Chains A and B, each alone.
Chain A
C-alpha cells in the first residue's frame, strides 16, 4: 500500500498532456511587466525611475519587511514606467514595466551549466542568500523561502520534505524539473538540509510520475539522508499539511505551521531556485511554466522570464484555440481564471491552462441533497455543506467554531458535489468575513 494523507481526497483525471515535453527556453519578450507583490507579505519597494538602465538579475525592488522578498530584473533594458496594472489576481498592483534591450546579465551571476556540488556557505549565509535572491515558494503559495528556513525560537525542524507531488491535473513543470534538473535539485536539497540543520530529507512524488521517481532514486542511491517517497495519486496531496501527513504521518494542528510538527516543506521548483541562488548567485528571475489545455496545439513546458505576458506563452504553445472559453493561471483545481491575457507571469505561476468553451461553464446549481460527499472528500475533515450555509446566512460565530479557517481552498467539495453547489465560493466568502472578525479581535 502506497502512502497517502488520511482524510478525504479526490481523483480528478490527470490529463498531463505536456508531461513528455522537455523544457524549452522561451524567447525574450519585448517588454516585461514586473509586479512588486509576487509573494505573500509586504510588497517590495522600488527606487527606480523612468528611463533607468538595468541589467538582468539586478535588484529592482527591495524586500518590504521580514515576510517579503526582493525583486530582481528578469531582463536588461530601460525602465519604461512605474505603474499600477491589474494582475492575475484581478487586483490593481504596482508594477515596473521594462523595455527589453539585449540580455546583459549582472556580472556576479554564474551562467555556466556546470554542476557545483560543494556547499561552501554556512547555514546562516544560505538563509541570507535565499532571502537576497528573492526566492519564494514556487508551488503557488509564494511564501518567502528564507522565512520558512528560519524556524521561530523554541521550534526545531527534524525533517525537510520536498514537494514533488504536483497533484493539480494538467501541470507538469515540477515533473520536468525533476527529470531534467535532477542533479541540481539534489544539491538544492542538500543546501536546504544544511540551512535547516537536519539530517533527513524526503522527496514526496506521486506514483503517476514513475520516471521521476526512478530518476531521483538512482541519483540519491549513494546519498545519506535523502529518501524518495512514492505516494498514491490523490488530490490535494500537494497541500502542505496533506503532504506532511502522507510522508511522515504527522498532522499539523489547526492554525499552526508545519514547524509545529518539526517539518519544513519546499517545492521542487523552489529547491532548484535555491540551488541556483546559493551556488550560482542567480536570483529568481525565470521559472518553468506549463502551457497546456485540451485544445492547445503544442502543449509545452517553457523556461520563461518573470514578467513575460501570458499571451506570449500561449502564442509559443501554438496560439489560442478558436473555441477558447477560459484561460487559467495555475491548475484547474486551484488556479485563477484570467480576464486579460496581457497579465505577466510571476514567481508563483506554475502553469497556464486553456480550457475550451464546453469546459468553461459551470452547470446550474441544484438543491443540496445532503449526500454527504463534500464531507467525505474534505481533506481537512470539515463540513463544506454546513460552512456554505453558515457563510450564506452570515452565521459567522458558528462558521468559526466549525473550523472554517482550516479550509485550504482545494476545491474538492465543489468538484465532487452532484448538485453543482458553489461550496468553495461561499466558504471563501465566509473565511474572508470570519478572518476580518478575528483580526479585529486582537
Chain B
C-alpha cells in the first residue's frame, strides 16, 4: 500500500449544487420577461439590458481585480443577474450614461463595498435603481409607451404608468371609477401592455419565471406568497373601507413592480432572511410598506423602497425568527400519563 489516500471529515459526497447553477437559474427564469420587454419596448430595452449587464460585470471585474486584489469571480453569474435586474427596473429610454452610473452604484456601493457576493445588506440592483430614481427623477419616471416605441430609444413617446395615473388623478380630485376607465384592462395589465420599467410590466412572463425558480428549488414559496398576499390583503382592507379612494387588490398586484419585486428582487438570497418564519415576516413587511407608499407616500410606486427597508431588518429578523427546532414542542407521551 504505497498509494496516498485523501483524508477529510464527512460528508464525503456533495449534492453538486453550486453558486453559478443558482445564478444562471435566475437568468433562465428571467428570459421570458426579457423577451416581453423586447417585444414591448424593442430597441430601447435591448440597449438598456445589454449596457446594464456589461457595465455591472465590468465594474465587478475591475473592483475585484484592482481594488480588492482578488481573483475576479464574474463567471459565477451574480453580477450578470444584478445587471439584468437593474435593467428590468429602469425605463427603456434611459440614456447610457445614467445606466452606467446606476451599474457603478449597484456593484460598487451596493455590493463590493460590503465585501462582495454574500456580504451585501441591500439588494444591489435596487440600490442602483433607487440612487438613479432620487438623483435623476425626471429621466427615471418618463415611461415609453409599449409597442409604439419599439423602434425608438431616447426619443421614445412617453406616457404615464397606471399607478401614476391613479395617484395623480386621485390627488387632483378625480374619483377612482373615472380613473379606472383610463387604464388598460386587468388582462392587458397582466400581459404587460402598460407603461413601466423594462422588465416589470409583463406579469405572465414573471409568473412563468417564478414557477421555474420554484421547480428548480432555487427559491421557496414563502417570500413571493407573503409579499403578494400582504399587498392583496392591505389593498383589500383599504378598498373595502372606501372603494372610491383606494384601488382594489388586483390593481395593486398587476401594476408597477410588485410581481418583479416579489418574485425576483425580494427573493435575492443574500439580502433576505434564512428561516421560513423570517421569510414570511419579511414578505409581509414588504407588502405592507409597498401599499403604504403607494397610497400615502409621494411616490406612485414603493416596491423598491419597501424591499430596501426590509433588507435592513434582515439581520434582526435572522436574530429573532429562529427555525422550528426538532423536538421543540414537547409532546407529553401516553406513557408518562399512565
| Residue interface mask B258-291, A partner, CB < 8 A = 1 | 0000000000011111111001000000000000
User: Contacts A253-B327, A415-B13 given: A337-B5 contact, CB under 8 Å?
Assistant: yes
Q: How far is the CB of B319 from chain A (nearest CB, A)?
A: 9
Which one of B12, B19, B271 lies within 8 Å of A337 (CB-CB)?
B12
A370 neighbours in B (Cβ, 8 Å): 118, 269-272, 274
Minimum CB distance partner of B338 in chain A: A156
Q: How far is the CB of B337 from chain A (nearest CB, A)?
A: 11
A158 neighbours in B (Cβ, 8 Å): 333-335
Number of interface residues of B (CB under 8 A): 51
Instruction: Report which residue of B15, B270, B330 has the largest number of chain A beta carbons within 10 angstroms of its beta carbon.
Output: B15
Q: In the complex, A378→B276 CA distance in Å?
A: 13
A361 neighbours in B (Cβ, 8 Å): 6
- Asked if residues B326 and A7 are in contact (CB atoms below 8 Å), the reply is yes
Count, A-B residue pairs, CB within 8 A: 181
Q: In the complex, A402→B291 CA distance in Å?
A: 35
- Asked if residues B334 and A375 are in contact (CB atoms below 8 Å), the reply is no
User: Contacts A254-B327, A383-B322, A415-B15 given: A339-B270 contact, CB under 8 Å?
Assistant: no
Q: How far is the CB of B123 from chain A (nearest CB, A)?
A: 12
Q: How far is the CB of B44 from chain A (nearest CB, A)?
A: 32
Q: In the complex, A254→B330 CA distance in Å?
A: 9
Q: In the complex, A262→B331 CA distance in Å?
A: 11
| Residue interface mask A342-377, B partner, CB < 8 A = 1 | 100000000001010001111100111111110110
- Asked if residues A253 and B6 are in contact (CB atoms below 8 Å), the reply is no
A252 interfacial contact with B, CB 8 Å: yes
Q: How far is the CB of B275 from chain A (nearest CB, A)?
A: 6
B181 interfacial contact with A, CB 8 Å: no
| Residue interface mask A242-286, B partner, CB < 8 A = 1 | 000100001111101000111000000000000000000000000
A406 interfacial contact with B, CB 8 Å: yes
Which one of B5, B9, B118, B279 lies within 8 Å of A424 (CB-CB)?
B9
- Asked if residues A324 and B11 are in contact (CB atoms below 8 Å), the reply is no
- Asked if residues B22 and A369 are in contact (CB atoms below 8 Å), the reply is yes
Minimum CB distance partner of A417 in chain B: B17
- Asked if residues B275 and A383 are in contact (CB atoms below 8 Å), the reply is yes
B298 interfacial contact with A, CB 8 Å: no
Minimum CB distance partner of B9 in chain A: A425
Q: How large is the interface on A (under 10, 10 to 19, 20 to 34, 35 or more residues)?
A: 35 or more
Which one of B318, B325, B333, B336 lies within 8 Å of A381 (CB-CB)?
B325
- Asked if residues B324 and A7 are in contact (CB atoms below 8 Å), the reply is yes
Q: How far is the CB of A197 from chain B (nearest CB, A)?
A: 12
A311 interfacial contact with B, CB 8 Å: yes
- Asked if residues B328 and A381 are in contact (CB atoms below 8 Å), the reply is yes
A256 neighbours in B (Cβ, 8 Å): 327
B67 interfacial contact with A, CB 8 Å: no
Q: In the complex, A411→B17 CA distance in Å?
A: 15
A10 interfacial contact with B, CB 8 Å: yes
Q: In the complex, A391→B105 CA distance in Å?
A: 34
Q: Give the contacts of A143-181 with B (CB-CB under 8 A).
A: 155-158, 169
- Asked if residues B327 and A251 are in contact (CB atoms below 8 Å), the reply is yes
A127 neighbours in B (Cβ, 8 Å): none
| Residue interface mask A411-435, B partner, CB < 8 A = 1 | 1001111111010110010000000
A385 interfacial contact with B, CB 8 Å: yes
B119 interfacial contact with A, CB 8 Å: yes
Q: In the complex, A12→B22 CA distance in Å?
A: 19
Minimum CB distance partner of B20 in chain A: A418
A386 neighbours in B (Cβ, 8 Å): 274, 318
- Asked if residues A406 and B325 are in contact (CB atoms below 8 Å), the reply is yes
- Asked if residues B330 and A253 are in contact (CB atoms below 8 Å), the reply is yes
Instruction: Report which residue of A6, A241, A338, A376 has the largest number of chain B beta carbons within 10 angstroms of its beta carbon.
Output: A376
A307 interfacial contact with B, CB 8 Å: no
Binding site for B on A (CB under 8 A): 6-7, 10, 12, 155-158, 169, 241, 245, 250-254, 256, 260-262, 311, 320, 324-328, 330, 332-339, 341-342, 353, 355, 359-363, 366-373, 375-376, 378-383, 385-386, 402-403, 406, 409, 411, 414-420, 422, 424-425, 428
Sorted from nearest, which 9 A-B pairs have the closest CB atoms?
Answer: A411-B11, A367-B118, A262-B335, A251-B327, A381-B325, A360-B6, A418-B17, A337-B7, A332-B13
20 A/B residue pairs, CB under 8 Å, sorted by A: A158-B335, A251-B331, A253-B330, A254-B326, A262-B334, A311-B1, A324-B5, A332-B11, A335-B12, A337-B9, A360-B6, A366-B73, A372-B272, A375-B323, A378-B323, A386-B318, A418-B18, A418-B21, A419-B19, A425-B9
